[in-house]
Chain A
Amino acid sequence: EVQLVESGGGVVQPGGSLRLSCAASGFTFDDYAMHWVRQAPGKGLEWVSLISGDGGSTYYADSVKGRFTISRDNSKNSLYLQMNSLRTEDTALYYCAKDISSVGLPDYWGQGTLVTVSS
């Protein structure tokens, strides 16, 4: 059974940093691209970032480019999102999601970790 468990969320001041983690199990982690997708309170889904199975290719939404960095450690079956220069508009529930087969389609999602950016 695919399991994705996010952690690392919390309250941070504008301009601050936070590192999210996602622990994956139930599938061969390095065979699949992975996503971060976020959802502001009461709002819709916004794709944030994608990383290939080997970690060699990364992609970002324009809204986070230059501030967020996605990475993975395949030896630990773990996905990360380093978030710097945080803004109030980054407040959201951040989901980690597995790609169906590295085509840009999330199929399994974690339960999310909440990031609140507030002074």
Chain B
Amino acid sequence: EIVLTQSPGTLSLSPGERATLSCRASQSVSSSYLAWYQQKPGQAPRLLIYGASSRATGIPDRFSGSGSGTDFTLTISRLEPEDFAVYYCQQYGSSPVTFGGGTKVEIK
């Protein structure tokens, strides 16, 4: 199975700053089938990005995804107060579907 490693584990930033989250796969992710989710405490995950770079319905354009092969990045251009949360990457190009361990974006 494809193992996804997210870094850093925790990112401490201030509102208005840029956040860059990394997701590295143990082998190439087929057809860039890589997604990103946001999860806030007590809530279900919310799909942000799929196909490595396509924003899901209703997701603000401050969220962007990039990458291919084994290296992927989620960028939040300017952090809003509601963006402080845990972010997970997920690959769905190979069975089984796998998730990364998550990156927590916290207020500095």
Contact = CB atoms under 8 A, between A and B. Distances in A.
A is bound by B = yes
Interface of A: 35, 44-47, 50, 59, 61-62, 95, 100, 103-112
A44 B37 CA distance: 12
B29 to A, nearest CB: 12
Contact of A44 (B46, B96, B97, B100): B100
A3 B97 CA distance: 23
A50 B96 CA distance: 10
A71 B10 CA distance: 38
A107 B97 CA distance: 14
Contacts of A108: 47
A114 B93 CA distance: 29
Interface size band for B = 20 to 34
Interface of B: 33, 35, 37, 39, 43-47, 50, 56, 88, 90, 92-93, 95-102
Contacts of A50: 97
A112 B44 contact: yes
A60 to B, nearest CB: 8
A110 B99 contact: no
A108 B44 CA distance: 9
B44 A47 contact: no
Nearest to B99: A45
Nearest to A59: B95
A107 B93 CA distance: 15
A103 B47 contact: no
A-B pairs with the 3 shortest C-beta distances? Answer: A104-B92, A109-B44, A47-B97
Given A44-B102, A47-B99, A109 B92 contact: no
A47 B45 CA distance: 13
